[in-house]
Structure 1
């Protein structure tokens, strides 16, 4: 059928398929009954075609780093099935996920959106995710292809690295997606690879991906991430997103007519788009229904299970799990206690059906008694606190708020992101909006008003201009780098008074900086006071236990912005230190999208790394705190003692954050635990680390052979739960070469088994190693090579806790050649 359609299509119709129709849909060819389909973000939910904020509600699953911490491909596959069901409620056929870039620096703003620092763990989870999604007829889109490990200047930066590092660290998840999971779609990254945009990189998209790996699906650009007509099509980019087209359409038709772009190249790209439509069943069922918010009980339960499965118990002096019946008073403190931090920021955001805060989850677990006392104590938000309540928005034609109101709406908070205009008659380059709400301060004091906008805006309080977000406007660090940095102004407000807050917003004039989005966020807050912290300390002192829920939130862990450091923001470290000094029974619950430094670690009784666990956050956290669920997670990323211990933090700006448009991956293979193995620097918590509420005994491992054969080697270990409750244990297998012609990591993860073992019972971890697992990539030989000689199989509970080693011999050298030519050298 596809070939018949292609033969009937004109050149113009084939070209039309190669760019989106709008922000979320492809182009239909009505003459030939070729339907359009919708795509949707993202990794932890299915948002649909609405705004990045607000819109139709959806189930919010845990962030990817928490999924990485689960080390549980079977559960991730189940999550993929559920996400496909969610996509169908939004009438979407393509899910723009998973994100599989590697945890390189610990500061990447999208660290939370990626699984791990290790390519093997990332590959296993990505393949399971894709298999789950695509089993339901929804396409998964693995991203971002490739070497997109930082958000700094991400739309222009060149990631410069050698081919061996690329193939051994950064490409394996994509290779597994193609060869094992059969991914139907891949998204190119914003950055350049060795100086060439990935969206038009012929070596990457054609010679490696299609010709060497045999990929037959589509490659789409990241949104506004394609740059050319001829080079992108010839390079191998099938679909320019979003639409309407900027570089294709008539430009591409002309390029074909003039012989610049071969007609067969366009036809092949159009064929891949049609193949995608066929795979997702669009020809049989072309209808696109209205988006729905369906809150499924089974998805609620899965999200809660996933949340606990990914939580990592980093420290426990015996205080956890807490005995509900033995507690008279609990202090639940910190900026994330009553505020449900369920997800990171950027395109991963969705409008969750609901959000359970840790405070709510703890109170529910204790049957709503008055034993729980709460104070926020301090703040951790990067931007001023949004105003929540009824916020009214009036839209006008033109940029001067004149004439009749074209459209009126209300929102629940003071943040807006208009991808599409709320009324079709509004011109996105020539409209204005007036936003009004009311604010009643909780106490008298000097309040901070903040405003950030992509577009021009001014904030008024009772008619007085307070914040000017127009004069001197310049791009800053918000809204993917397309909005200004937040403008802050202090103003005294009085308790008991109610203030009218009005923001006048207008679109950028035509041609101003080429901005592509329209967005606005404003807020007001009181700074953290000494008195607030002192009150929290006094409350903690009088309680049986103090639970501090601290960390970051989606304004820090977000697309478009890297973190400034690995410290807890605001005065949170001070809060932890002061509470721990008066109450030795202090439990810290961390919510971050990656590692943090912990100068306070020795002073607290327990630490749980909870990540961003989705809409059931509070319930999952309470389940772990009170022992209703096992803390099932193990770290998918090394937590270094300090930021400078990270291999990307060399002190040379060329390595991080980049210089003159280039970031050099000079650490090569030494990422995460590979780096710590090589330099001997002890991490705060090693890769794969995590404690349990029970104890385990491991048997001596058994190998099917000490000689590597064509069928590989199988290893078994019995793991017995010697405690009095069920628990989870992780068995990791690393391969360690004894000698090599090329410098290699000390050891590398090649297999793992996550076991859930009832009390007093035994389970068997079954692992296997193939000859490819012994290999490295030799760029000169153009082959994967496993050298003849001696190896060790390392059985470990984490990267530093080695339980056993087994000898392994490869009698003769093994080679597997590659067909792609060498990766081109770096160009400016």
Structure 2
């Protein structure tokens, strides 16, 4: 094996020399504006069949279709051939089958599924094609389990780094959000499964999520929090949306006329069904009239739901008409016909937990890993003189497919980081594993993990002396050390937000003490949301960020550490130096009590940091490579444009390093002389491009002028302001390398 690695190094060096002699320039003509064509969604083509079915139903049968009759299904009408609408949780893959009447596992032996990387990892790839792959793959698994609806994707904006579900969401940026959401939705629905896009809308915290009233100005609502939902409806033809727990401007979102009727249906033309989040319904007549179609939830008996016996009584009392009931039943029947659940001919059958799906999970994971620090070029690991490696940390063996409060995946394959290294390291290198720290929590009287107010599980920060000594011994006895720290899905979890950004379980102290006995350390963070890494950054020159990264996550991580794959992940959110730098916390507008006002307005995420000139620890879009890229010579096809045109932006990406790699070129737009408030810059395009060593790629990003529009509250319309705009190309929001001016007439 030593001969093999030395030979590889010699060949690589030779290739570098050859490539430096003749720089080649290729043209990349594709752009991030690739269209993902959804299936046509037009319920009118089923209208006669739907009307016929409704005419034969009793009132009780109709209302049975508007609420859960089990944990994850609505009622059907068997005598008329109308099946239940069967649902599955799916942010990480298809959830194991549970009991019809409780959250207890059903005990099946054939409900194992592929564990996919969390949405944060998908976003870190900055690759819409991989979002389509994820959606298409998990859609196949949903069909293989006989499901009609996937309760995914979750596309809420990341407003606070403390969010318990940050790992489950894509990003803090509305443009990147919609560019990832659309292909995912199309991918799922290509398999005759409807997505249930959630959580609509302004559902950006777990704290008081069931009661808090969110106040946000109209322009911020339209420009930050709604673009991905609008794209889900108007571009991806999403068949279903999920109403959120919280209130918006005084009304719960499952009975909010503005959001469900006026915006969703009247403005955007949504034809599908609105499903409540579980136990998020508060009224009978109001919720139905204001746009809800299906009530799901716990823990009441199903007949006691607001849209069950109470709705039957309301119809009989004349509080709501049967014509109103028919309208909602028609919507449910429409989506059932759309996914071929009724009279389905040639409906997709799907497949589950296949090698192909595991490979797709790997492909996402390996492109999501972010290289944060590599000052001394420790990575990729040089193994010629390495005989032993210490692998330290509970996260080296921690499995995250299941865990936390919320949906997980029952899977037969979850490769941990330790297993990945064992799989990939050459024979003869000894791994000295030590747990290092214990995953412990402050306990209450019932010996359960304690949630205090809005705070999530609180990790005990004191190290266990025995575990520490084992780690120090392993480090002393090894040539280099890999520390696996960060978080897990018990610490980052639905239903609670974190207390602060500090690392749990004494990890900072562990890293510091290990460095004393062996300075050759690589620190790998596993997690879905930002942490305070200031001290960790001081302790090591080599820092990697991975995620809850699916069935093949350990193999993907090992391949990046060993240089089998050049890292290309970029952060989809900003990592602050301190919590008070983040906009929701700087404005003291998180978490609120009965009311939370989004005081930062448009300045969410990097918009705040860039506009206020606050230096983050790591900026939005940041991620290093084992090679070096140079972006230059940005040009546009014209100097002046009108509103209905598309700006063709071209530029060069040069690989000035020694190995092939992928760079994510990011297009930001600013307008310094605007007559309205604007962020310093906004992401309006991106392209991930493979550039061979020594080569230069000519890249094109197509930017429709309409993407420059702002929402004019007075006109209730999107308006493109005329005048000069600066188009800037870089590889993070804080590393702009080339720019050009254009004019809009």
Would the TM-score normalized by the shorter structure come out above 0.5?
A: yes
Q: Equivalent of 1:170, from 220, 225, 242?
A: 225
Secondary structure of residue in 2 paired with 1:547: strand
CA separation of 1:527/1:570 partners in 2, compared to 1, >3 Å: closer, same or farther?
Answer: closer
- Show the counterpart of 2:476: 541
Which one of the candidate residues 448, 451, 463 is aligned to 1:477? 451
- What is aligned with 2:23? none
Aligned partners of 1:179 and 1:485: how far apart in 2? Answer: 36
Aligned length: 683
Q: Is 1:716 aligned with 2:650? A: yes
1:326 CA displacement = 3.4
Instruction: Indicate the larger mover: 261-270 or 352-361.
Output: 261-270
Describe the SS at the equivalent of 1:254: helix
Contact 2:393-2:483 within 8 A present in 1 as well: yes
Report how far residue 531 of structure 1 moved: 4.0
Report whether the alignment pairs 1:658 with 2:592.
Answer: yes
Q: CA deviation at 1:334?
A: 1.1
- Residue in structure 2 matched with residue 707 of structure 1 by the alignment: 640
CA deviation after TM superposition for structure 1 residue 122, in Å: 0.8
Task: Give the Cα separation in 2 of the matches to 1:8 and 1:33.
Answer: 12
Conserved 8 A contact 2:272-2:331: yes
- Residue 48 of structure 1, CA deviation: 4.5
Inter-CA distance 711–194: structure 2 relative to 1 (3 Å threshold): same
Compare 320-329 and 210-219 and name the one that shifted more. Answer: 320-329
**Which 5+ residue runs of structure 1 have no aligned equivalent?**
385-447, 454-475, 489-524, 812-828
What CA distance in whole angstroms lies between the structure 1 residues aligned with 2:669 and 2:598? 24
Q: CA deviation at 1:629?
A: 1.5
Calculate the aligned-residue CA RMSD, in Å: 2.7
Tell me whether 1:569 sits opposite 2:627 in the alignment. no
Aligned to 2:548: 612
Matching of residue 803 in structure 1 with residue 737 in structure 2: yes
How far the C-alpha of 1:580 sits from its partner, in A, is 2.2
CA–CA separation in structure 1 for the residues paired with 2:129 and 2:148: 23
Equivalent residue for 2:371? 313
Residues 735 and 747 in structure 1, CA contact (< 8 A), matched pair in contact too: yes
3-state SS, counterpart of residue 808 of structure 1: strand
CA shift, 1:637, in A, is 0.3
Shift in alpha-carbon separation, 1:591–1:381, aligned structure 2, 3 A:
farther
Partners of 1:361 and 1:682 lie apart in 2 by 35
For 1:74, the equivalent position in structure 2 comes to: 129
Work out whether residues 341 and 357 of structure 1, in 8 Å CA contact, stay in contact via their aligned partners in 2: no
1:605–1:650 distance in 2 versus 1, CA, 3 Å? closer
- Structure 1 SS opposite 2:66: coil
Secondary structure at the aligned position of 2:68 is classed as coil
- The alpha-carbon deviation at position 526 of structure 1 amounts to 13
Distance (Å, rounded) in 2 between the aligned partners of 1:207 and 1:280 = 26
Equivalent of residue 670 in structure 1, options 598, 603, 609: 603
SS of the counterpart of 1:772?
helix
Q: Using a 3 Å threshold, how does the CA distance of structure 1 residues 285 and 48 change in structure 2: closer, same or farther?
A: farther
Contact 1:324 1:366 survives alignment (8 Å): no
CA contact (8 A) 2:159 2:604 kept: yes
TM-score, normalised to structure 2, is: 0.87
Aligned-partner Cα distance in 1 for 2:305–2:471: 55
CA contact (8 A) 1:333 1:377 kept: yes
How far 1:294 moved relative to its partner?
Answer: 4.2
Match of 1:727 among 661, 672, 684: 661
Q: Aligned pair in 2 of structure 1 residues 118, 344: CA closer, same or farther (>3 Å)? A: farther
CA distance in 1, matches of 2:500, 2:458: 22
Q: Distance in 1 between matches of 2:708 and 2:458?
A: 54
SS across alignment from 1:336: helix
Q: Name the residue aligned to 1:457.
A: none
TM-score (norm 1): 0.79
Is the Cα contact below 8 Å between 1:728 and 1:755 reproduced in 2?
yes
Q: 2:86 maps to which residue?
A: 38
The answer to which structure has the higher helix fraction is 2
The correspondence of residues 768-783 of structure 1 with structure 2, limited to 5 A, is: 768-783=702-717
Matches within 5 A, 1:112-131: 112-131=167-186
Q: Residue 72 of structure 2 aligns with which residue?
A: 24
Distance 1:53 1:751, change over 3 A: farther
SS in 1 for 2:356: helix
Quote the residue 2:21 is aligned against. none
Which one has the bigger strand percentage? Answer: 1
Instruction: Decide whether aligned partners of structure 1 residues 739 and 668 sit closer, same or farther in structure 2, where only a CA change above 3 A counts.
Output: same
Give unpaired runs (5+ residues) of structure 2.
1-48
Instruction: Tell me how far apart the structure 2 counterparts of residues 111 and 679 of structure 1 sit (CA, whole Å).
Output: 24
1:264 is displaced (CA, Å) by: 3.0
1:49 corresponds to 2:97: yes
SS at match of 1:803: strand
Aligned partners of 2:451 and 2:458 also within 8 Å: no
> Does residue 1:560 correspond to 2:495, yes or no?
yes
Alignment counterpart, residue 572 of structure 2, candidates 614, 629, 636: 636
In the TM superposition, what is the alpha-carbon distance from 1:343 to its structure 2 partner?
6.5
Q: Distance in 1 between matches of 2:282 and 2:547?
A: 36
SS at match of 1:546: strand
CA contact (8 A) 1:161 1:664 kept: yes
Preserved contact between residue 247 and residue 253 of structure 2 (Cα < 8 Å) = yes
2-structure distance, mates of 1:280, 1:330: 52
SS of 2:55's equivalent in the other structure is helix
8 Å Cα contact 1:345/1:557 also seen in 2:
yes
Contact 1:53 1:351 in 2 (8 A): no
Could you tell me whether the CA contact under 8 Å between 1:91 and 1:288 is conserved in 2?
A: no
Using the alignment, how far apart are the partners of 1:23 and 1:335 within structure 2? 34
Comparing 90-99 and 48-57, the one that deviates more: 48-57
- Structure 2 partner of 1:391: none
Name the counterpart of 1:141: 196
1:347 match: secondary structure: coil
Q: Distance between the aligned counterparts of 2:529 and 2:126, measured in 1?
A: 16
* 2:371 aligned counterpart, secondary structure: strand
Q: Of 95, 98, 101, which residue of structure 1 is paired with 2:156?
A: 101
- Residue 255 of structure 1: how far off its partner (Å): 2.5
> 1:332: which partner in 2?
391
Distance (whole Å) between structure 1 residues aligned to residue 600 and residue 483 of structure 2: 36
Find out whether 1:302 has 2:360 as its counterpart. yes
Given candidates 569, 591, 615, the residue that maps to 1:682 is: 615
- Structure 1 residue matching 2:688: 3-state secondary structure: strand
Deviations 1:657-697 (A, max 9, x none): 212x1111111111111000121110000000000112223
- Provide the rounded CA distance (Å) in 2 between the counterparts of 1:707 and 1:130: 35
Q: Give the whole-Å Cα distance in 2 for the aligned partners of 1:176 and 1:3.
A: 30
Tell me, what secondary structure is at the counterpart of 1:648? Answer: helix
> Which structure 1 residue ranges, 4+ long, deviate > 6 Å from structure 2?
286-289, 484-488
